[in-house]
Amino acid sequence: MTVIKESMAGDEVEMLMFALERARAQFAWKCDGLDADALNTTLPPSAMTLGGLLKHVALCEDLRINEFLTGDHLPEPWKQEHFDADPEWAWHSAADDTPDELYALWRASVERSRAAWATVLANGGGLDQPSIFTTQAGEHPNLRRVLVDAVEHYIRHAGHADLLRENVDGRVGEDPPQPSAS
C-alpha cells in the first residue's frame, strides 16, 4: 500500500511534488494486485488496458527524465527499433509482459524519476530553472511546466485506470485507503 504523505502548508515544490505523488498513488492503487487476464481486460470500444497503461506511464516517466531533466539514455526496454516497428509498442507489447514485469518496470521508472527530480531541484534553482529541452522556437520550458505536465499526465491516466479497474473487479474510489491514526 502506498501511504500518501500530505503537506498542508508546503512551498510550491513540496505541493507540486505532493500532487505528483498523490496522482501516482491513485494510479498505482487502480492497477495493483492484478493477474495477467485482469491487466489485459479492455472496456470496449477502447483497446486500452491497465497493463498497457502501466507500460505507457513507465515510458512517459523515463522520457520526461531523458528529455527534460537529465539527457540520459533511455533504459531497457525502451529501444527505438521497437517504436520504429510499432509507434504504439508500449501499449501493444504490455500484453506479452507478466504482471510482475509490468509492475517492476513502472516502479523502477518512478524511482528514477524521483531521483532525477531530487538531483535537479537540489541545486537550489527551484522550478524557475529551465529544463534541458529546447522547443522548435528555441525556448526551454521551466521545471514548473515539466512538473505540472507530469501531474496532469497521471491525473488523466488515473481516470482511465479508474474505469478499467471498475470494469475488472468493481474497485472504485479516489485515493487508496490510508492507515488509520492510532
The answer to whether residue 2 is domain-embedded is no
The answer to whether residue 4 is domain-embedded is no
The answer to whether residue 103 is domain-embedded is yes
The answer to whether residue 1 is domain-embedded is no
pLDDT band at 7 (very low <50, low <70, confident <90, very high): low
Task: Provide the domain count of the chain.
Answer: 1
Please count the CA atoms within 13 angstroms of the CA of 3 that sit on its side-chain side. Answer: 4
- C-alpha cell at position 30: 487502480
The model carries a pTM of 0.91
The answer to whether residue 35 is domain-embedded is yes
pLDDT in tens, 105-130: 999 999 999 999 999 999 888 999 99
Range of the domain at 62: 12-169
CATH number of the domain to which 101 belongs: 1.20.120.450
pLDDT in tens, 65-98: 999 999 999 999 999 999 999 999 999 999 999 9
The answer to whether residue 54 is domain-embedded is yes
The answer to whether residue 108 is domain-embedded is yes
